[in-house]
A and B are shown apart, each in its own frame.
Chain A
Amino acid sequence: MDQGSAAGTGGTFISLSDTEQRCYSGLYALCQPDSSGKLAAGKVAELFRASQLPAETLHQVTEVCGAKRLGYFGCGQFYVALKLMAAAQAGLPVRLESVAGELPLPLFIGITNELEMRYPNHPSTNESQPHILGSLTGSAPRPPADRPVLRHPDTSTDKQEAWSPPRSPGISPPRSPSAYRSYPYGAQRNGTDTLLAYDGKVAGCPSVPQENSSPSHYSLKLQPEQPVITRVASVERLVERAEMDYSDDPWRITEEQHEYYTNQFRSLQPDLSALIMGTVAKNFFTKSKLPIPELSHIWELSDVDKDGALTFPEFCTAFHLIVARKNGYTLPETLPATLRPGFVEPGVVPAPPSEATEPLIVFDDNMMPGANQLEMGSVDLQMTSRPGVTSKQDTRDESRKPEEFSPKRIPDPHEKPIQHVSTLKPDSPQELDANMKSRTRPRSYSSTSIDDAMKKVEEPPTPPPRPQKTHSRASSLDLNKLFQQSAQGSRPSQHSLSAKSGWLPRPPALPPRPPATQIFSFLPGSEKSSQKAVQQANFADFSKFREEESSVRGGLSTEDLAPPKLDSTLRHQGHAPQKPVRRKLHPESQSATPPSAAPYSAATLTKSTQRPPPKQKREIQMAIRKNRETNAVLTRLNSELQQQLKVVHRERVTLESQLELLRPVAST
């Protein structure tokens, strides 16, 4: 295609500005030129539709540019057509004369320049491209509709201009960064735009030789030929920053990607500092549907310590390589510097926002940072995949597959992108979607699932021991001891019960409970039986207690507390009779007690103070008793634990001796 300043249609020469040339060359590449330079009619049609011009205008354009005569769109015709469309969009009549002057770049919704840019810029086949270009490349149904939605936001000429610069650079991997950069130019775009732009850049125009997308971009950007490009200056700066940040793209892991990888890692291995074994990783990566030799190569690249397992950085590297591969990037022979496990990109991982978000922000001023990032990441990936349309289709399929692969959890998001429904996640990358969506959405899923699982695991054990701890023991044996110690003759059991119920001790008892529970679980049923006995005793006592309490009801905070406490403990233990008893006694208090023993005690104290002296006294006494009982229970528990410890010690000694015996044998 002639990137020259002139596009000839039947001999008519129209001068094109540099940006226009770039844009047009990108679009040209986008439309799948065949060997003789003719463009695929379908693609051209899509592009024209994306320009959102009325059909009759498009017919006029076709006629004027000479394609109608020729029957096909050659390069010259195409360029003229593009220029005519720009004119039409600017409101000028579709005439050759109109295109003689400077015009803003034509805007194509959905296929936006970005896409074009990407496309042309991206000589290599990138899957991402296909996605974005999706419409162009072959998902005909979708594209126009999708693109417009997606791209629509920024149909400013700025964007167009921005796009053109990106196109020049040509190199696919760098493209992505450049694409991003160009995006920022277009800043207004929503995330999708950026992606598109990105793709455009990445796509690498066939016409654009390669390289240095960033420099070229910058240079291009620095040519604010068009008046509309007001943002260029700022964008340029942004772009520069972005370029610098993304100089290694696509081999740089963005923050979003990193989060996603983290979640995936957690799904395989909750501990981030631990290793994922080879087989586990193999199964996981096999889901990506990449061929085994490639996966093998990826593994070789990422397992730097050669231990057959992946640490977290290695896992991120491997995942990133897989993602890149799925997006069409060819695997490097050696690990890029940015992917080395020891590589710490300033601000990427540790404080990602600063750097990671910066470029993103650059891209889309208006776009949502998250979306940007996602898109960008996907764009990068996709950009590389842009190149061959047909091959892209394949890659697209592959990229779609990652959806299955990564997000088993999130089938929908991926599908959406495929359908190009979402505006935010434009078709650009199904891969992106897969990655991003999987990143965004799966993150929540995985985290929640893992957390839930963990929580569930943690929850069950605790409850049971509590009840045992406090009451059962205390009531049976401790009570007696307490009574003996306290030398409080009256209804020792009752007192103890009351003391227990009254809880103050509750608070102290609570913490030990969990450990006690564990211990309890260890302990054989003897404790339980004892507890039960105690409970039964308590039961009996409680009944007495209840009587007492009922008599003392006035300010029964303590009593209430006590019974509830007992109830709670008993409840835990599952002693039905006691529970109901308690409940009957203090239905209201029961509900109140579990929450806080301490408050109870305080409340009871206060209540007691408020109550008439005799009641207060009684309550205090009961509280004291309870405390004592609790103490007794705890001491017993302590002794039991000590015994267990001794047993365990003995076992340990035995094992060690056995080991010693075996060792000499093994060393031979």
Chain B
Amino acid sequence: MQTAIMIVANYPLYIRSVPTQGELKFHYTVHTSLDVVEEKISGVGKALADQRELYLGLLYPTEDYKVYGYMTNSKVKFVIVVDSSNTSLRDNEIRSMFRKLHNSFTDVMCNPFYNPGDPIQSKAFDSIVSTMMVQAF
């Protein structure tokens, strides 16, 4: 089962996929899904940052996989790509995954040595993401 988690701020900040092959495909998927994200964002209209608004839900179901999106207040987008064959994942689980991602991401941001816009190289963040992916998928 192939899944991937990507953090994009108009360019990839962090990509992790399980299995690690086929990342290129995920890159492509993420880029296309960004368009969908933009579409959803523009549709929101209000400038209120609400937790609901942050979670964008299923962006783009294809025959192979499903793409879920989440956008932070600072316009950093989280994208989760899961196999369509994995039907056990519920929306709430995805939401919780995004929440964890967001928390870890803020922890990374809090690090003064991290410059926003740099690729995320934090080992702690990696471990959290790996754990999450293993649990969920």
Contact = CB atoms under 8 A, between A and B. Distances in A.
Nearest to A280: B112
A299 interface: yes
Contact of A306 (B110, B113, B123): B110
B110 A295 contact: no
B123 A299 contact: no
B121 interface: yes
B137 interface: no
A306 B111 CA distance: 8
B122 interface: yes
Interface in B66-125: 106-108, 110-114, 121-124
B121 A278 contact: no
Given A293-B121, A333-B123, A300 B112 contact: no
A278 B123 contact: no
A279 B112 contact: yes
B112 A299 contact: yes
A285 B127 CA distance: 25
A281 B113 CA distance: 9
B121 A296 contact: yes
Query: Which of A285, A292, A296 has the most CB atoms of chain B within a 10 A radius of its CB?
Result: A296
B110 A308 contact: yes
B110 to A, nearest CB: 4
A299 to B, nearest CB: 5
Nearest to A331: B123
Interface string A293-332: 1011101100100111000000000000000000000000
A535 B107 CA distance: 64
Contacts of A296: 111, 113-114, 121-122
B47 to A, nearest CB: 13
Interface residues of B, number: 13
B27 to A, nearest CB: 24
B92 to A, nearest CB: 25
Given A297-B122, A300-B122, A292 B107 contact: no
A323 to B, nearest CB: 17
A592 to B, nearest CB: 58
Contacts of B110: 278, 303, 306-308
Interface string A241-280: 0000000000000000000000000000000000000110
Contacts of A286: 113
A292 B114 CA distance: 8
A282 B113 CA distance: 6
Contact of A278 (B108, B111, B122): B111
Contacts of B121: 293, 296
A300 B28 CA distance: 32
A278 B124 contact: no
A308 B113 CA distance: 10
A296 B115 CA distance: 10
A282 B112 CA distance: 6
Nearest to B114: A296
Contacts of A308: 110-112
A278 B113 CA distance: 8
Contacts of B106: 306
Contacts of B111: 278, 296, 299-300, 303, 308
Interface in B26-57: none
A16 B74 CA distance: 69
A279 B106 CA distance: 16
Contacts of A307: 110
Nearest to B125: A300
Query: Which of B106, B122, B127 has the most CB atoms of chain A within a 10 A radius of its CB?
Result: B122
A139 B110 CA distance: 42
A319 to B, nearest CB: 15
Contacts of B108: 300
A466 B77 CA distance: 64
Given A279-B112, A281-B112, A297 B123 contact: yes
Nearest to B124: A300
A225 B111 CA distance: 54
A322 to B, nearest CB: 12
B112 to A, nearest CB: 3
A29 to B, nearest CB: 32
B107 A306 contact: yes
A315 to B, nearest CB: 13
Nearest to A333: B123
A428 B31 CA distance: 55
A307 B106 CA distance: 9
A609 B113 CA distance: 76
Contacts of A299: 111-113
Contacts of B113: 282, 285-286, 292-293, 295-296, 299
30 contacts: A278-B111, A278-B112, A279-B112, A281-B112, A282-B112, A282-B113, A286-B113, A292-B113, A293-B113, A293-B121, A295-B113, A296-B111, A296-B113, A296-B114, A296-B121, A297-B123, A299-B111, A300-B107, A300-B108, A300-B111, A300-B122, A300-B123, A300-B124, A303-B110, A306-B106, A306-B110, A307-B110, A308-B111, A308-B112, A333-B123
Interface of B: 106-108, 110-114, 121-124, 127
Please name the 6 residue pairs, one residue from A and one from B, whose CB atoms are nearest each other, closest first. A278-B112, A282-B112, A308-B110, A296-B113, A306-B107, A295-B113
Given A282-B113, A296-B111, 12 more contacts: A279-B112, A282-B112, A293-B113, A293-B121, A296-B114, A297-B122, A299-B112, A300-B107, A300-B124, A308-B110, A308-B111, A333-B123
Interface of A: 278-279, 281-282, 285-286, 292-293, 295-297, 299-300, 303, 306-308, 333
